[in-house]
Amino acid sequence: MFPGFAAAIATHMQNLDQAIVENDTVAIGKAAHTLKGALLNLGMADCAKIAVLIEERAKAADSSSDFRKPSEDLRLVLAPLIT
């Protein structure tokens, strides 16, 4: 079961990264929201807080926000899980 969760989180991170590259705040918000839910399902509340930060900034349509930094921070924490 756990490998399935890890694969899902990797996919959600890819979706978030793609949305950030496209600077699509709607897609960023959706990807961060989905990622947040997956992380909470695994009991990873600290990681979910980063996803919430990204989601809130995206839903505020703040295209000037640096979405890359919190995404990179999240990727570093999740690296052992998703690689």
What pTM did the predictor assign? 0.89
Q: What are the sequence ranges of the domains in the chain?
A: 2-82
What confidence score (pLDDT) does residue 82 get?
A: 84
Q: What does R_g of the chain's alpha carbons equal in angstroms? A: 12
Give pLDDT tens digits for 11-61. Answer: 999 999 999 999 999 999 999 999 999 999 989 999 999 999 999 999 998
> Could you count the other beta carbons within 10 Å of the beta carbon of residue 75?
16
User: Does the structure show a pLDDT above 80 at 3?
Assistant: no
User: Does the structure show a pLDDT above 90 at 4?
Assistant: no
What confidence score (pLDDT) does residue 71 get?
A: 96
